[in-house]
Amino acid sequence: MLRDSAGADRWPRFVRNRSEQYEARLSLVQVRGRTRCCLPACADPCCPSRWRTAKGLAEFSTHAGAAELLEHGLVTLQFVDHYEEPTEVYPLNPNGSPLGLAGVCSEDGRVTAVMPHPERVFRSVQNSWSPKEWGEDGGWLRLFRNARVFLA
């Protein structure tokens, strides 16, 4: 089970979105620079990602839960605004999670859970827009390549 991984015991429960509805949208997420998983080496620290779910709001047992994850380098992704600042504002943060939480990892970095769906936008043509320098590869393809190298 995921919670048995080192550091996953701090993970929140993921419950119904604050909007109380199914959300399907394109959101901007930022890869946290100080995290223990394979994400920091992604091509672009800020990437658009598809989001489709009714559950994703991070619910912690303590008020400081999200801040503790951030402090220990266990937050992998955060929803950000157009200034690349973490946000809790809807619809930029479609689930309403504290500190814009969109992904977590275990202490050893071998287990990573992300709320958006990077597998749906790994090619640049799958995005509604993309920088020309991406070429055919979307910003999220690097995630899968990095994971293979990180875990090898």
Distances (CA, A) of 38 to 34, 46, 69, 89, 115: 11, 15, 17, 27, 16
Give 60-102 as a 3 state SS string. CCCCCHHHHHHHCCCEEEEEECCCCCECCCCCCCCCCCHHHEE
Report which of residues 95 and 8 the model is more confident about: 95
Instruction: For the chain, list the domains and their CATH numbers.
Output: 2-151 (3.40.50.880)
Q: Is pLDDT above 90 for 87?
A: yes
Give dist(CA 65, CA 10) in Å, integer: 8
Q: Is pLDDT above 70 for 70?
A: yes
Q: Strand, coil or helix: what is 145?
A: helix
User: Tell me, what DSSP letter sits at residue 3?
Assistant: G
Report which of residues 9 and 105 the model is more confident about: 105
Give dist(CA 64, CA 16) in Å, integer: 20
**75 Cβ contact partners less than 8 Å away, ≥ 6 residues apart:** 32, 35, 66, 69, 99, 101, 103, 104
In sequence order, what are the beta bridge partners of 123?
137
Token pair, residue 50, equals 């598809």
Question: What's residue 6's pLDDT?
Answer: 60
Q: Is pLDDT above 60 for 3?
A: no
Percent of the chain exceeding pLDDT 90 equals 17
Question: Per residue in 107-129, pLDDT tens?
Answer: 877 778 888 778 888 888 888 77
Question: What's residue 31's pLDDT?
Answer: 82
Residues 106 and 120: beta-carbon distance below 8 Å: no
Q: Is pLDDT above 90 for 99?
A: yes
Question: Per residue in 5-55, pLDDT tens?
Answer: 565 677 888 899 998 898 888 888 888 766 666 665 554 567 778 778 888
